[in-house]
Amino acid sequence: MDFQLKTLTVAQAAAEKSDVLIVLAGSAPIVSKDPLSVLAASARKAGDLPDKAGKLLSLYRPEGVLAGRVVLAAIGDGKPASVRSGVAAAVNAAKAQPARRVTLVFAQPADGPAVAAAVIAAAEASYVYTTTKPKAEPRSIRQLTIGVADAGAVSQPFDEARATVRGIELAKEWGNRPANHATPTLLGEAAKELGKLPNIKCEVLGPKEVEKLGMGSFAAVAQGSAQPLRFIVLRYHGAPKSQAPVVLVGKGITFDTGGVSLKPAAEMDEMKFDMCGAASVLGTFRALGDIQPAINVVGLIPSCENMNDGRAVKPGDVVTSMSGQTIEVLNTDAEGRLILCDALTYAKRFEPAAVIDIATLTGACVIALGGVRSGLFSSDDTLAAALEAAGEASQDRCWRMPLDDDYAEGLKSNFADVANIAGRAGGAITAAKFLQRFASDFAWAHLDIAGTAWKSGAAKGSTGRPVGLLVSYLMGRVGSTGAEDGTQGAKAGAKTGAKTKVGKKAGKSAAAPAGKTRTEK
């Protein structure tokens, strides 16, 4: 979808050529005296347009408006969360009948975060997956113009939000693809496409290179599949090489049967989403390619299938990780941590400022937090605070969970340095404690996105999370010299937009034309 930003009053928006005009009305007084503003104020006073965000009033061909349809949408207090609710409801109403061009105007002053929220909400509400549905109707809204009182004042947050949308939709694309259309090899090809964007380089390693690196834990998970593993290394260089990079590590299990510890058949199809951590890394790099911020970022994606054949790893097997630590595999469905631990060890060579792994890791995290917030675990308080602030700023929220050493007791093994799973209690925490063993040399955080990476039921599909959180965090680091500045930077970026130069010529997208079985036990 093509987003445009213009300086428009409600009266000027009424003269714009569009199929639908959406007027966002907050609870603050509407002072303009043009006919449409007066109508919105009257509707609100009469109770026909309640202040609650998401409430709508639709009009057909009102006098003095060029658009055939008008949707008055309440955005309550005008804060990002309320704007998202109002815009989502209005865009859903607009697309009920085919609309190619939509104009969306704020009836009151809007700041950068509100405009960014409108961009992301409009994209989310209009998104359509079509790659393996050749007869599906594509996204009907092709152009959306956002009108504000002063476009120049919010142009940077707007541009960053537009880039974030491209990243989110790339993550959705690869998350939504069936596993036979998103193999480790194809994921590697998508990463290579990102390598064509400015300042991004890509390297894809295969089984021989992984074996040479000593990634025995990663290789063990892959050995039961006919699909060869891939280890993807993405590098974004936007700052001098002397600046330590942030390393993002995304779990890339392109399909997870559970291995010998087989998952229940019901909803196993959703295990194509087990690579959403990897998809979020791809999406974040897609956004970086447009924004071109002055930071360095590395993306690591260990990718394979967790399948069964005569060579598959078995419960009780002991494997040797890249770190040299041996691991007793008590449950083959706890495979994500087995591939991530080798990637975390590999991350050390970059002497990172911080390492963040992103994974659809545990069903226990779904029980704890549902689909609202991602689970956040971190060994570094400043890094954790920065990620929490970025989550709030982007409306892609997370919640910090504990990492007390007592939780690691269940990971003890009589036959290896560590077991890959503990008991049922605190399963999301014990999984994080396992990963922490391999992340002691740097500031580290783990995002468990098992509850937030996709939706089930009638709305089944990838959410693209946590691309928004990651982009917000990285933009907050622009200009900082180390992880100690992360929290302050994230807050400043949320308020004013990070000081970056968004690429005017966007690179080509790596996407194609544009009781749950929740991952590990």
Q: How far apart are CA 273 and CA 271, in angstroms?
A: 5
17 part of the active site: no
Sign of the torsion formed by the C-alpha atoms of 111, 113, 117 and 120:
positive
Q: Residue 475: exposed, middle, or buried by beta-carbon count in 10 A (0-12, 13-18, 19+)?
A: buried
- φ, ψ for residue 435, nearest 5 deg: -65, -35
Which token pair is 46? 């009469």
Q: Are β-strands 230-237 and 296-306 bridged in parallel, bridged antiparallel, or unpaired?
A: antiparallel
3-state SS, one letter per residue, for 379-390: CCHHHHHHHHHH
What order do you get walking across the sheet with 20-25 strand by strand?
Answer: 2-7, 143-148, 101-106, 20-25, 69-74, 56-60
Instruction: Please tell me which residue in 44, 55, 166, 263 is annotated as part of the active site.
Output: 263
Q: Is 69 in a helix, a strand, or coil? A: strand
Which token pair is 59? 């009009």
Instruction: Please tell me which residue in 337, 433, 465, 477 is annotated as part of the active site.
Output: 337
CA-wise closest residue to 164 among 488, 478, 474, 450: 474
Q: How far apart are CA 437 and CA 481, in angstroms?
A: 27
- φ, ψ for residue 68, nearest 5 deg: -70, -30
Q: Is 100 in a helix, a strand, or coil? A: coil
Question: Residue 93: which H helix or E strand, with range?
Answer: helix 80-94
251 part of the active site: no
CA-wise closest residue to 474 among 336, 283, 193, 337: 283
Query: Could you give the residue numbers annotated as active site?
Result: 263, 337
